[in-house]
Amino acid sequence: MVQSSVARSSAATAARRACENPVMPAPVAIPAEITAALRGARFVAVLTGAGVSAESGVPTFRDAQQGLWARFDPRELATPSAFARNPKRVWDWYAMRREMVGGVAPNPAHVALAALERRVPEFLLITQNVDGLHQRAGSERVTELHGNIARVKCSREGTPVATWKDADDELPPRCPACGAFLRPDVVWFEELLPAEPLAKAEDAARRCNVLLVVGTSAEVYPAAALPDYARRGGACVIEINPNETPLTADADYSLRGPAGVVLPALLQATFPAKGYGG
């Protein structure tokens, strides 16, 4: 149980009281305390990472075998200096991933989170993912911390560019206004997160009664700080991940299992109905 000296609203207090026990061994057996916390919550926030899209066939980053960063060097593909050194290689890698995410579909985890949004009074889905699968599943209140791979912007001025011609053999396409190379509208290592989405995410983490943390290694900041803000604000923090993470020890609950199995079960147990994608 996380101690907090911050004054809590009655909904937050009820949510906290409902969260007295640590790690849950069985992923689909949802404890009554969790369903009570969700039902009593005025504001539910969700933080997602690559694991929520794993069952759609989108690779995660840090999986030891299949993770993108096990197969590709982020310093050569996801930094401003990599783009300056070899813009075509970086453009092509993101073009390949853009095509890949365009060819997959949301999975039951995305569907369940879209359903959760419609069940609670206040809601925000904070995602580190750039694949747009939450929106395609029907989520509306989404804040994207790391951009979106479907979008492209000018590498010099940051202006969004809606349409572009394919890259030629040597170079990425150019900005129609200033002639600089276009780049994906995603956040690279060594770059700041977009200010408005980050502020919304931090505000939600501080004010929510329940924070679900789904499919993230909880290693990349500032997103990894959000569960701590939530705990300090008195929220119940529930992790959903098949594996232990640095957050696990501090979470009120850790539901071990794939998000596409656990989340539909969580929705079904909390708000019994059909159509949660499980």
Active site residues: 146
What amino acid is encoded at 172 in this protein? P
- CA–CA separation, 189 vs 81, rounded Å? 10
Identity of the residue, 40 or 108, whose beta carbon is nearer to ligand OAD in the bound complex: 108
Cβ atoms of 18 and 36 closer than 8 Å: yes
Q: What percent of the residues of the chain are helix, what percent strand, and what percent coil, each to the nearest 5?
A: 40, 15, 45
Of residues 157-216, those binding ligand OAD (CB under 6 A): 187, 215-216
Is 142 a binding residue for ligand OAD by CB under 6 A? The answer is no
Closest CB to ligand OAD among residues 55, 117: 55
Q: Which of 55, 131, 239, 252 binds ligand OAD (CB under 6 A)?
A: 55
CA separation (Å) from 116 to 39, 238, 267, 276? 11, 15, 7, 9
Query: Are 15 and 37 in contact, with CB atoms under 8 Å apart?
Result: yes
Lateral strand order in the sheet of 43-48:
142-144, 122-127, 43-48, 210-214, 236-240, 253-255
The contact mask relative to ligand OAD for 23-52 (x = CB under 6 A, - = no) is: --------------------------xxx-
Q: How far is the CB of 259 from ligand OAD (least distance, A)?
A: 4
x/- track of binding to ligand OAD for residues 218-257 (CB under 6 A): -xx--------------------xxx-x------------
DSSP 84-140: HH-HHHHHHHHHHHHHHHHT----HHHHHHHHHHTTSSEEEEEE---S-HHHHTT--
Judged by CB under 6 A, the number of residues near ligand OAD is 24
Among 54, 137, 152, 230, binds ligand OAD (CB under 6 A): 54
Contact characters 110-139, ligand OAD, x per CB under 6 A: ------------------x-----------
Among 17, 62, 200, 256, binds ligand OAD (CB under 6 A): 62
Q: Is 217 in the site for ligand OAD (CB under 6 A)?
A: yes
- 148 interacts with ligand OAD by CB under 6 A: no
154 beta partners: 182
Whole-number Å distance between alpha carbons of 250 and 233: 14
Q: Which is nearer to ligand OAD, 14 or 210 (CB)?
A: 210
Stretch that binds ligand OAD, among 15-23, 54-62, 169-177, 201-209 (CB under 6 A): 54-62
Q: Which residues contact 124 (CB under 8 A, 6 or more apart)?
A: 43, 45, 46, 141, 142, 143, 200, 201, 204, 208
Nearest residue to ligand OAD, scored by beta-carbon proximity: 51
Chain Cα centroid distance, residue 213: 8
Residues at the interface with ligand OAD (CB under 6 A): 49-51, 54-55, 60-62, 67, 78, 128, 146, 187, 215-217, 219-220, 241-243, 245, 258-259
